[in-house]
């Protein structure tokens, strides 16, 4: 079937006037030549009586009636005494069963007749007969159709896989939507994306990568109920399926299984078996989006959810995802303004000496109240800031607010040091160290007052690139701590190259070592390691006195956790410090 848009383009390319009337003799379509002929005047719904005097209009009406009865009319039309045009009128049937009339003006000439715009016989009567003209028109029409179709097909195809490309998908989506309008047949859009395709490319080479994409494309084309398969670029594909009107849980499941099986079947390329897996997100029209852009957005949100839930999964769009992506957008926008307006808050959590229980330092933790959604968990907004490339801005804002609030306590000697969390990617910025030192000085503080915590999960690549910044900061006297130690997969050899002062044992180890012997052994090993690296140790997340006792007796000097104090605002910190000063023995007493 030729797409309506293709046909329209063909008719517009013809040097002949073509227009269509319905069974009420109203004009419902005119090609470019026709629109040109009537100087762009309104024509939709008009009849010949709107353009001609009664006598002519009646003559035309007679011809049209004959065509509606199924008999073509082929005639020289006379306007008054002149032959105005050679017209072929053909019967057609519209999709709703209604008969109609297609008129083709075989003559090119036109001029205004009695101030009415219509065509007039041009002087090229050289074409022998009208019969011949009709043949030449037919040939020309076919030719135009083929040329247009070829050009359009090429512009809509992905050359590497032979599937549709983005443009092709757009066209197929519009066609599927029209099909729904006409028949009520729903369709599903699936966005899919291979998991870790980059690794296949890197390890096995681009030729194998391309073969995987081609193999997958061939599989897609065999899927039941497939309307269209498109490659959107890279390893991203889109699939369009026909689905039943009554789409229930079972059918959703079948649809998911169909897609899942295509994505996860192993593939044999160059006698090697390749286990590629993929994730997909599906949205159904019109249930999950009543316009195409919403449908696409929701299929995309479903794909993101599938990936976030551990990949190699197929996820159908649902209200929970709708809520989540709405919430996500609210959070992204809100966080952006909060950073700009510096309307973030800070909580401070004391870190105490394991022997004297005196405060050694406080950790600065970001807090954020969304104007509508209330308090947002740091893990959630920190991740969003990282995804949106806002984390370094956030860290700077937090640092400045923290310096402002802590300056009086530092000046009074009530605390000596505070820790801030620094995003690993920041540390690879060339100017990071000098910028930080400048800001410390700007607040009237010294580098000794500051400890920066870097997460161990930062990639080794990032840590290596960060080394030059860390060296500058370390040489200036800033304390460098490796955070969440025990959760990443530290390359121990490369740790030796980093100027570390402290490692911070992760909360999960502290939590589990009471009940899990292997975790306890790991903890003891880390204590040994710290000795070899000649760094001090902090344990975070201490919640029980048993925790505190065991960890302190293993020789960990710095303790942090709810057992001593929860993170708190500045006013509460001041009160806590006063109480703590009263209870904790002085350092010299403890020694
Ligand atoms: P983190 O750096 O590991 O921070 C310690 C987290 O442990 C804090 O969570 C703190 O409230 C929590 N915690 C402390 N003691 C206990 C305890 O005894 N029991 C339990 N269950 N939890 C305890 P929070 O404040 O939710 O922060 C989560 C993470 O968000 C932080 O983990 C840190 O990675 C990140 N973060 C917070 N503020 C910032 C910031 O300003 N910049 C950056 N880049 N990251 C931040
Ligand atoms: Ca931390
Ligand atoms: Ca931590």
Distance from residue 228's CA to the centre of ligand 2 (Å): 49
At residue 123, the pLDDT reads 34
Cβ neighbours of residue 472 closer than 8 Å, sequence gap 6 or more: 433, 434, 437
Residue of 212, 217, 236 lying closest to 228 (CA atoms): 217
Distance from residue 327's CA to the centre of ligand 2 (Å): 26
Ligand 1, residues 342, 361, 365: which to mutate, most atoms within 8 A of Cβ? 365
Atom of ligand 1 at shortest distance to CA of 422? 44
Structure tokens at 461: 């690549």
At residue 274, the pLDDT reads 84
Closest residue by CA, ligand 1 atom 8:
365
At residue 112, the pLDDT reads 40
Distance from residue 176's CA to the centre of ligand 3 (Å): 51
For residue 165, is it left (φ>0), alpha (ψ between -120 and 50) or beta?
beta
Atom of ligand 1 at shortest distance to CA of 453? 2
Distance from residue 434's CA to the centre of ligand 3 (Å): 25
Ligand 1, residues 368, 397, 421, 451: which to mutate, most atoms within 8 A of Cβ? 421
Distance from residue 322's CA to the centre of ligand 3 (Å): 32
At residue 457, the pLDDT reads 66
Ligand 1, residues 338, 395, 507, 562: which to mutate, most atoms within 8 A of Cβ? 507
Residue of 389, 500, 510 lying closest to 452 (CA atoms): 500
Pocket (CB within 6 angstroms of ligand 1): 349, 365-366, 378-379, 382, 391, 395, 398, 421, 423, 453, 483-484, 507, 540-543, 560-562, 567
Ligand 1, residues 339, 376, 378: which to mutate, most atoms within 8 A of Cβ? 378
DSSP 187: E
Half-sphere exposure of 518 (CA within 13 A, CB side): 1
Cβ neighbours of residue 170 closer than 8 Å, sequence gap 6 or more: none
411: three-class secondary structure by DSSP: helix
Closest residue by CA, ligand 1 atom 25:
365
Closest residue by CA, ligand 1 atom 10:
567
Ligand 1, residues 540, 548, 551, 565: which to mutate, most atoms within 8 A of Cβ? 540
Atom of ligand 1 at shortest distance to CA of 365? 38
At residue 409, the pLDDT reads 96
Q: Which helix (DSSP H) or strand (DSSP E) does residue 561 occupy?
A: none
Distance from residue 380's CA to the centre of ligand 3 (Å): 15
Atom of ligand 1 at shortest distance to CA of 399? 41
Closest residue by CA, ligand 1 atom 26:
378
Closest residue by CA, ligand 1 atom 12:
541
Structure tokens at 427: 């540390």
Q: How would you write the pLDDT of the chain (591 residues) with one tens digit per residue?
A: 566 677 788 888 877 789 999 999 999 999 988 888 788 888 988 998 888 888 888 988 999 999 999 898 877 665 555 555 678 899 988 877 788 999 988 664 444 444 333 443 333 343 445 556 666 767 777 777 777 778 778 889 999 999 999 999 999 999 999 999 999 899 999 999 888 888 888 888 888 889 999 999 998 998 888 999 999 988 999 999 988 766 677 777 777 787 888 777 788 887 888 888 889 999 999 999 989 999 999 999 999 999 888 778 889 999 999 998 889 999 999 999 999 999 999 999 999 999 999 999 999 999 999 999 999 999 999 999 998 999 999 999 999 999 999 999 999 999 999 999 998 888 888 889 999 999 999 999 999 999 999 987 666 667 777 888 999 999 999 999 999 988 876 667 777 788 999 999 999 999 999 899 999 999 999 999 899 889 999 999 999 998 899 999 999 999 999 999 999 999 999 999 999 988 777 655 544
At residue 149, the pLDDT reads 74
Q: Distance between CA atoms of 298 and 300, rounded to whole angstroms?
A: 5
At residue 150, the pLDDT reads 80
Distance from residue 449's CA to the centre of ligand 2 (Å): 16
At residue 132, the pLDDT reads 65
419: three-class secondary structure by DSSP: strand
């Amino acid at each position: 079937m030729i797409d309506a848009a293709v046909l329209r383009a063909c008719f517009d390319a013809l040097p002949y006037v073509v227009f269509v009337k319905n069974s009420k003799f109203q004009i419902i379509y005119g090609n470019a030549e026709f629109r040109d002929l009537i100087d762009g005047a309104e024509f939709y719904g008009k009849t010949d009586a709107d353009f001609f005097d009664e006598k002519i209009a009646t003559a035309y009406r007679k011809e049209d009636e004959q065509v509606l009865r199924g008999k073509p009319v082929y005639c020289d039309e006379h306007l008054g005494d002149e032959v105005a045009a050679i017209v072929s009128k053909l019967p057609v049937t519209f999709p709703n069963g209604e008969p109609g009339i297609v008129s083709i003006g075989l003559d090119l000439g036109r001029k205004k007749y009695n101030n009415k715009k219509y065509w007039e016989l041009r002087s090229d009567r050289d074409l022998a007969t009208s019969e011949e003209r009709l043949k030449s028109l037919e040939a020309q029409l076919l030719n135009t159709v083929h040329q247009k179709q070829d050009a359009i097909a090429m512009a809509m195809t992905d050359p590497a896989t032979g599937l549709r490309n983005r443009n092709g998908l757009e066209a197929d989506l519009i066609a599927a939507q029209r099909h729904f309008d006409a028949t009520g047949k729903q369709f599903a859009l699936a966005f899919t994306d291979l998991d870790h395709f980059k690794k296949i490319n890197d390890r096995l080479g681009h030729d194998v990568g391309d073969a995987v994409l081609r193999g997958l494309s061939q599989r897609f084309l065999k899927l039941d109920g497939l309307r269209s398969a498109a490659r959107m670029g890279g390893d991203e594909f889109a699939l369009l399926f026909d689905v039943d009107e009554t789409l229930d849980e079972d059918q959703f499941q079948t649809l998911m299984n169909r897609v899942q099986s295509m994505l996860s079947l192993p593939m044999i390329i160059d006698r090697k078996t390749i286990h590629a897996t993929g994730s997909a997100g599906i949205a159904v029209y019109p249930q999950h989006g009543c316009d195409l852009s919403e449908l696409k957005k929701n299929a995309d949100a479903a794909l993101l959810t599938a990936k976030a839930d551990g990949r190699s999964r197929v996820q159908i769009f649902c209200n929970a995802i709708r809520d989540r992506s709405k919430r996500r957008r609210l959070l992204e926008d809100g966080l952006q303004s909060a950073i700009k307006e510096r309307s973030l808050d800070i909580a401070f959590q004391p870190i105490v000496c394991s022997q004297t229980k005196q405060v050694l330092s406080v950790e600065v933790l970001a807090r954020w109240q969304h104007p509508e959604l209330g308090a947002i968990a740091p893990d959630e907004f920190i991740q969003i800031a990282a995804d949106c490339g806002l984390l370094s801005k956030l860290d700077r804002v937090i640092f400045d607010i923290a310096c402002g609030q802590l300056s009086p306590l530092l000046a009074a000697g009530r605390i000596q040091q505070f820790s801030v969390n620094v995003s690993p990617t920041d540390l690879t910025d060339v100017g990071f160290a000098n910028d930080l030192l400048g800001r410390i000085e700007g607040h009237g503080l010294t580098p000794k007052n500051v400890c920066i915590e870097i997460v161990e999960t930062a990639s080794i690549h990032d840590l290596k690139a960060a080394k030059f910044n860390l060296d500058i900061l370390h040489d200036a006297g800033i304390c460098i701590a490796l955070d969440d130690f025990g959760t990443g997969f530290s390359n121990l050899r490369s740790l030796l190259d980093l100027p570390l002062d402290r490692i911070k044992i992760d909360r999960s180890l502290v939590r589990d070592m009471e009940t899990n012997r292997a975790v306890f052994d790991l903890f003891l090993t880390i204590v040994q390691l710290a000795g070899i690296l000649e760094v001090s140790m902090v344990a975070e997340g201490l919640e029980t006195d048993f925790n505190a006792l065991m960890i302190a007796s293993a020789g960990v000097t710095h303790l942090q956790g709810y057992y001593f104090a929860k993170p708190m605002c500045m006013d509460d910190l001041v009160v806590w410090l006063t109480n703590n000063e009263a209870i904790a023995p002085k350092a010299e007493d403890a020694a």
